[in-house]
Structure 1
Amino acid sequence: MKKATIAVTLIALGTAALAHGGVKNKDVMARMEVMKTIGDQMKIVGSMAKGQTAFDAAAANAALTEVAAQAAQIAPMFETQAEDPKSEALPIIWQQWDDFAKLASDTEIATEALIGSITTEADLAPALGKIGGTCKACHSKYRE
């Protein structure tokens, strides 16, 4: 994966953290916290891939473990159609629920398959590409 693609993925995930201020609906806030946690874990792996932090296989695999655990919570967090002006979730989620839930599951499955596979620094970019692709598939369709 190109460094530019890694940067775009990290920027997209990082912007969610800025959106949390002023959220009033507790269900929306809970969803945002799950996404923020995923973004934070992806930043750990991304910073290693970009050479900003030292490579640490255990930390990278731990981050993937947390991403998978949080990804498992995505669909359940959206079961209630909660709205808030700060939410970036599009209403189409609930109109196309089966597709949305599948895409959320794809992220969990792809990430689980990668847990333990990060043994060298060269493993980071392909892992980010796989996970980032699943995130993008959902975000491009169901997120403002």
Structure 2
Amino acid sequence: MKSRIHLFSFLAVIGLGLTPAFAHEGVKNPAVKARMILMQEVKTSFGQIGQMAKGAVAFDAKDAQAAKARLLNASQAVVDKFQANETDPLSQAAPAIWKNWDDFVAKSTAFEAAIEVLDVSDLATLRGGMRAIGGGCMACHKAYKTD
């Protein structure tokens, strides 16, 4: 019985690790696929920090700093990855991005700025900065992401 539990746990972990790869499997346009992979990195890094902030996983300053660095790096690539108006049937990027390019850039820049000032040295300061980052995600997604 114990070995079955270990096997199930192992398969669950492997399955979670492969989810992002399968999520973009049907995307044909390489530019769109690159954008989707980038946004998955944003989601993953934000999720790691968010899990610590919620107390779902133990706070670790080194892990928080590493996740923040990945999140910042990914956020700095967003404008470049979206600059070309590329489409794909599986894309969730709304055409409004390119119609309202200056607003999209402003929202992306504000998101990046919120990440830059996020203090991950302890749990209290991490929690204090999460609202600005979450708000940055939501501002773009409400205006520029289709479901």
Is the TM value for this pair above 0.5?
Answer: yes
Stretches (4+) displaced over 6 A: 15-18
- CA pair 18-92 structure 1, distance change in 2 beyond 3 A: farther
Q: Which residue number corresponds to residue 83 of structure 1?
A: 87
Structure 1-normalised TM-score?
0.82
User: What is the CA deviation profile of residues 46-87 of structure 1, one whole-angstrom value per residue up to 9, with x for unaligned ones?
Assistant: 111222221101211221121111111111101111101111
User: What is the CA deviation profile of residues 63-120 of structure 1, one whole-angstrom value per residue up to 9, with x for unaligned ones?
Assistant: 1121111111111101111101111100011111111011111111110111xx2222
Q: Which residue number corresponds to residue 125 of structure 2?
A: 123
2:139 to 117, 137, 144: 137
- Name which structure has the greater RCO, CA cutoff 8 Å, separation 6+: 1
Q: Which residue number corresponds to residue 97 of structure 1?
A: 101
Structure 2-normalised TM-score?
0.80
1:65 to 44, 63, 69: 69
- CA pair 53-69 structure 1, distance change in 2 beyond 3 A: same
Aligned-residue identity in percent = 40
Query: Matched residue of 1:73: which SS?
Result: helix
Q: Which runs of 5+ in 2 are unaligned?
A: 1-18
Pairwise CA RMSD: 1.8
Q: Which runs of 5+ in 1 are unaligned?
A: 1-14
**Which protein shows a greater Rg?**
2
- Please say which of residues 82-91 and 125-134 is displaced more in the overlay: 125-134
